[in-house]
Amino acid sequence: TQLLEQSPQFLSIQEGENLTVYCNSSSVFSSLQWYRQEPGEGPVLLVTVVTGGEVKKLKRLTFQFGDARKDSSLHITAAQPGDTGLYLCLHPRGKLQFGAGTQVVVTP
Amino acid sequence: EAQVTQNPRYLITVTGKKLTVTCSQNMNHEYMSWYRQDPGLGLRQIYYSMNVEVTDKGDVPEGYKVSRKEKRNFPLILESPSPNQTSLYFCASSSFLGGETQYFGPGTRLLVL
């Protein structure tokens, strides 16, 4: 079983600030996905990273896959209230297991 | 519109009364799965199905049953619900289990009294 650990568990910031959330494991992953879940809805895929060292950008969101493919980070620049949600990482192979998630709250 | 639907969205029941939560997808996906989401525990997989008539246990299968008689449907059955099954349940599907996007339903909030 490949355990995904996410940190921090909770993050509350003001609009305009930057934030970074992490997804770590002791195992090597062939790929990793990040999802965002808004209140009352199911998770929605943001990005898939596949190559060690890969960096992907989605507007103000920057995703990085560690060189050793054991960890990933999500950085949000100039956060907005619309970024509020639960951010989840997933290794999309085998028996699917999500990390516990990071709850991000961005206040105006 | 490509989507995963779940019914009901909200359900209050009593201990021991059998219930079924339906899940249907219109994307011709092979892979379907059920999760429960509890505060601080994230999404935990209950059961999954690789294709019709092929199902397997996830991490928390106790107290649940599933069936996959048709490709599009994957109902979750609670034969004798208990209060510890009070949770938010999600159904998901993907084209195959190999790095593809998981598409989630809107969730079913279940309260067992």
pLDDT in tens, A15-26: 999 999 999 998
* Predicted pLDDT at A1: 53
Mean pLDDT of A31-36: 94
Confidence band, pLDDT 50/70/90 cuts, at residue B18: very high
Q: Chain B residue closest to A38 (CA)?
A: B106
Distance from CA of A24 to the nearest CA of B (A): 15
Whether B98 has a pLDDT exceeding 80, the answer reads no
Phi/psi of residue B106, each to 5°? -80, -10
Task: Give whole-number Cα distances, B95 to A24, A44, B33, B58, in Å.
Answer: 26, 15, 12, 19
**B16: exposed, middle or buried (C-beta count within 10 Å: 0-12, 13-18, 19+)?**
exposed
CA distance A72 to B8: 36
Query: B99: which chain A residues are within 8 Å (Cβ-Cβ)?
Result: 30-31, 33, 48, 50, 92-93
Confidence band, pLDDT 50/70/90 cuts, at residue B108: very high
Are B48 and A43 inside 8 Å of each other by CB?
no
SS3 state of residue A79: coil
Are B4 and A100 inside 8 Å of each other by CB?
no
CA distance B76 to A21: 33
Whether B97 has a pLDDT exceeding 80, the answer reads no
pLDDT, tens digit, for every residue of B29-60?
999 999 999 988 889 999 999 999 999 999 99
pLDDT, tens digit, for every residue of A65-86?
999 999 999 999 999 999 999 9
Nearest to B42 among A33, A95, A98 (CB): A98
